[in-house]
Amino acid sequence: MSNNRNEGAAAPSNFIRNIIEEDLRSGKHDRVVTRFPPEPNGYLHIGHAKSICLNFGLSTTGENGRCHLRFDDTNPETEDMEFVESIQRDIRWLGFEWNEHLYFASGYFDRFYELAIKLIEDGKAYVDSQSLEEMRANRGTVTQPGKHSPYRERSVAENLDLFERMARGEFPEGAHVLRAKIDMASPNMKMRDPLLYRIRHAHHYRTGDKWHIYPMYDYAHCLSDSFEGVTHSVCTLEFENNRELYDWVIRETGVPCVPRQYEFARLGLNYTVMSKRKLKQLVEENFVSGWDDPRMPTIAGMRRRGYTPSAIRDFCERIGVAKANSTVDIGQLEFSVRNDLNAFAPRVMCVLDPLKVTLTNFPAGKKEEMLTGSLYPHDIPLEGEREIPFSREIYIERSDFMEDPPKKFHRLAPGREVRLRHGYVVRCDEVIKNGSGAVVELRCSYDPDTLGKNPPDRKIKGTIHWVSVNRALSAEVRLYDRLFKDERPDGDKDVDFKDHLNPDSLKVVTGYVEPCVADDEPGSRYQFERQGYFISDPVDSDPDELVFNRTVSLRDSWSKIAEPAAEQPKTAPKPKPKATAKPAAPKATRERTPQQQVLYDKYRDLGLSDEDADLISAEDTVAGLFEDAAAAHDNPKGIANWVVNEVLRALKDRDGLPFDGAALGELVKLIDEGTISGKIGKDVFEEMLSSGEGPAAVVERKGLRQVSDAGALEPIIDQLIAANPDKAARYREGKKSMMGFFVGQVMKQTGGKANPQLVNQLIRSKLD
């Protein structure tokens, strides 16, 4: 495993990488050494993920670079081996490796102590016996200089004696501290004789009871960087004022290696708290089930919720590296998650609020039929099918039936017809209610001649999902939402952040899911059609008691909720829409112009869905782009998918596109022909947006052509099958969804460049 999960891809540029590249060009450094230095006092969160991606990513600049993992374990009262192990697990899960470069600040305690002795001998440090309150009072203010400690001019001999006795444990905590002797009038408050050591009679998880004094962060951190040969010490903006002290310690101790500190903006995310202290409160006060609760912003929580490492890395790359603090919309993170899961999560059906339907004309004694459903939609280059049992009694979603439906309700109602997903057309004939008037059952009839085709004499507008009552598996489904209901839960100092917790952040329901998931391992991910993306809980789920966690909904349902309830002034700007994997469908009540209706009907005849046809026909510019693209390449469904998912998203932030519809058609053609994969196609599209180049030119310039040589792919596939005999056996036993695992792994190992159709063929031939 390497430091960079995206080998071969161009690294994203930022101001720190630009500095590093110049240092390499000028010969200031011959290689880059960075480090990620967490304190093992809690679990890592999404903010740490940004720093991990940055530091490990920067280390790939130039040749022979490396990134160290170093635990800043200088505070024995809060640190634990549990946190050390969790941090290593999270970094590896994100896709990064430090190899032999694992370090602990506690491993340098003897060297820290020796250098502190040197500072005392050089007259650069002294033992102060003031109380913390006295030191704080004498520190001064931003406009007033501080006062010298009455102990500042102790002799070197007295300071050495006191410091050595502090180390032996002869004094109580708070009796003395070691301070640097710098400048109590410095305009930088950090330079007013800062603390270097304090007394702590605490057991350290690595060094035991050897030490009774522990170094402060500002003293230990820079020296650790120097000991390890770090060239670029990257930290967040709150340490900007600490840089002067960082340089002072390096200079005055005389250590040979001189690293340089650079600061970047930390990640701020709305509807979230990033403070370890506050996250620890949520855990210890049982507001969540633990550090890995799927509502937590911890990497462990996101992993359990079903987020993928590639989605988190993509998010960190999208938000970039800035010099000024800002808050990122959590919708951007959810967009990256949807975008990633959409590319490989198999589709199955699950009913969360069941309403029983009896198909009265399905013979009571007839054996169940097995219908066929694709595991992936047409625009995803993975193959796979599953069998769906069809029976006399099925469950549908209760919200898919209305007894007195409004206009434009295209689902089931008395006397109306809908199509069952992957199945037949059914008509509601009778509604059964209980004594209180609640609907408990629908009696319907199905048309056996409509499997896979529409009846020529009537137009079916709606499609709903369903499961067989007899064969569906009961499952606990945990519907997770954002943990906080307010954008800035810790923004008001006068209000406890816990008062902003979202009471609806978790709802638990009993759902019914297709039986094809029965043999899948815990941690398997799915798209429950029309519901969202889900993962079988890696901790609680097993074959006897299925548990699914909702990773993310199909769309950003918070966009409208977050809008202020009060009426906006006419001059107020409209709230910027949240980023979603697919733009929200137009309101059902929108009326079309005659021209739009013509286009809508035309696009429906081409095979587009109601929603896609409506979106594309709504604007002349978009419709014109679609028409030109379809003229350049005959795949209207594939082009529509790109228009709805990518073009409309891009047009939110710009007046137009720097390329025409023919270029879009050419892009889809390159994908259909196997020249590039769909995932690489998205990278090409983004490059087209920024450069205005045609897709073929981008592909050639960046070397993005697919690997379509069977001889190059077969060794990878052979090795993968040999390393996963259990999954190969399950495929051969009939678990065809394993195909998605093997294809996904090959795509991952080839950086997404393998021809997915060829990969499918090769894997299938070897497994079958």
Question: Is 5 domain-assigned?
Answer: no
Domain that holds residue 316: 15-107+266-328+335-341
Instruction: Give 583's pLDDT tier (boundaries 50, 70, 90).
Output: very low
Q: What is the pLDDT of residue 461?
A: 86
Same domain membership, residue 542 and residue 395: yes
Chain centroid to CA 438 = 41
302-339 pLDDT, tens digit each: 999 999 999 999 999 999 998 888 889 999 999 999 99
Pairing between strand 350-351 and 417-420?
Answer: unpaired
Q: Model-level pTM?
A: 0.75
Same domain membership, residue 488 and residue 440: yes
Average pLDDT over residues 584-590: 40
| 8 Å CB contact between 525 and 533 | yes
> For the chain, what is the domain count?
5
Q: Taking Cα atoms as reference points, which of 741, 756, 609 lies closest to residue 671?
A: 756
What string of H, E and C letters represents the secondary structure of 515-573?
Answer: HHHCCCCCCCEEEECCCEEEEECCCCCECCEEEEEEEEECCCCHHHHCCCCCCCCCCCC
Q: How many angstroms separate the CA atoms of 361 and 371, rounded?
A: 18
Q: What is the pLDDT of residue 86?
A: 97
Same domain membership, residue 478 and residue 428: yes
Q: 583 versus 487: which is more confidently predicted?
A: 487
Same domain membership, residue 553 and residue 466: yes
Question: Is 516 domain-assigned?
Answer: yes
Question: Is 762 domain-assigned?
Answer: yes
Q: What is the pLDDT of residue 590?
A: 52
Residues marked active site are found at 39, 266, 276
- End position of a domain, from candidates 341, 369, 389: 341
Q: What is the pLDDT of residue 656?
A: 83
Average pLDDT over residues 421-432: 96
Per-residue tokens: 103: 């370090």
Q: What is the pLDDT of residue 456?
A: 79
Q: 493 versus 253: which is more confidently predicted?
A: 253
Least confident of 499-503, 548-552, 639-643: 639-643
Same domain membership, residue 121 and residue 83: no
Same domain membership, residue 99 and residue 136: no
Across the chain, mean pLDDT equals 89
- End position of a domain, from candidates 341, 364, 394: 341
604-633 pLDDT, tens digit each: 888 888 778 888 988 888 888 998 998 889
682-737 pLDDT, tens digit each: 888 988 888 888 888 888 887 778 777 888 888 899 888 988 888 888 888 777 66
Q: Taking Cα atoms as reference points, which of 374, 299, 240, 385 lies closest to residue 94?
A: 299
Q: What is the pLDDT of residue 1?
A: 36
Average pLDDT over residues 120-138: 96
Q: At how many degrees (to 10) do helices 217-227 and 109-121 cross?
A: 110
For residue 459, what are the contacts with CB-CB under 8 A and spacing of at least 6?
none
| 8 Å CB contact between 50 and 183 | no
Terminal CA-CA length for the chain: 30
Eight-class DSSP state of 376: S
